[in-house]
Amino acid sequence: MKIISYNINGIRAAIKKGLVNWLQSYSPDIVCLQELKANVDQFDVSVFEKLGYSCFWYSAKKKGYSGVAVLSKIKPKNVVFGCGVNAFDDEGRIIRADFNNLSVFSCYFPSGSSGEIRQAFKMDFLEFFYTFIKKYHLQKNILVCGDYNICHKPIDIHDPIRNKYSSGFLIEEREWMSAFLKLGFVDTFREKNSSPNKYSWWSYRANARLNNKGWRIDYHILSDNLKQKIKNVDILSDVHHSDHCPVFLELN
């Protein structure tokens, strides 16, 4: 099973940049998308269906903002839109697809970079999500894909010293990530790859991507008891449809 998680930073823009052709050639079994920035009436969903995907879109109420999706060549048994909390569901933050022996989440965690109000919202989301996902993890094997907007460790960010007080690398966010993993999860990329300078997001400013001044904030977080199923991982930094790049996981 080949799984892609990808913050596309606007599906309409990504389609214009060749997203559909790339998906056709790469042919993942499951695609978890974040930051759609569109409702389903604003783009041609059939281009994905023609590739063989069952498509489940969960847009934010605010147009041009947030939103998540799961596209799957393996038809899920069940799909759940949202988490039951209006403040988060209005922003289209979480969608879950249940398969025979695995539940796959596509999640777009809030960013706190715009100021104190959104940082507080982000911390509220993290507190909720910890309890929310713990419940599912006790019941079933899960894979939590998405843009977490958190760099876990210094190896995951190009300049950990200067970014010490930046949202996304705050000590309380990093501690949350550690506690989250201790619930019984594994960071699949780091399970297989301990190399530095591996990032999934770059600012559009100051040629950050060209100079590889990035952040690793996109993850496949898997139930720990399935870590022996991890066959391959990768960060596809040469794929350019967004300020993020796709992250790849292959499971036996």
Rounded Cα gap, residues 53 and 129, in angstroms? 28
Question: Which residue, chain included where needed, has tokens 């909390």?
Answer: 85
The strand order across the sheet containing 230-235 reads: 54-58, 68-72, 30-34, 2-7, 247-251, 230-235
The confidence score (pLDDT) of residue 208 equals 97
The confidence score (pLDDT) of residue 137 equals 85
Whether 99 and 117 have beta carbons less than 8 Å apart is answered as no
Rounded Cα gap, residues 217 and 240, in angstroms? 16
Listed residue (109, 27, 37) closest to 72, CA to CA: 27
Residue ranges and CATH numbers for the domains of the chain are 2-251 (3.60.10.10)
Rounded Cα gap, residues 108 and 67, in angstroms? 8
Q: Which of 98, 147, 159, 224 is catalytic?
A: 147
Q: Write the DSSP assignment of 207-218 as a string of letters.
A: TTTTTT-EE--E
Listed residue (165, 130, 135, 170) closest to 152, CA to CA: 170
Q: Does the annotation mark 44 as catalytic?
A: no
The predicted-structure confidence for 156-177, as pLDDT tens digits, reads as follows 999 999 999 999 999 999 999 9
* pLDDT tens digits in sequence order for the chain, 252 residues long: 999 999 999 999 999 999 999 999 999 999 999 999 999 999 999 999 999 999 999 999 999 999 999 999 999 999 999 999 999 999 999 999 999 999 999 999 999 999 999 999 999 999 999 999 998 888 789 999 999 999 999 999 999 999 999 999 999 999 999 999 999 999 999 999 999 999 999 999 999 999 999 999 999 999 999 999 999 999 999 999 999 999 999 999
Contacts of 41 (CB under 8 A, 6+ apart): none
The confidence score (pLDDT) of residue 211 equals 97
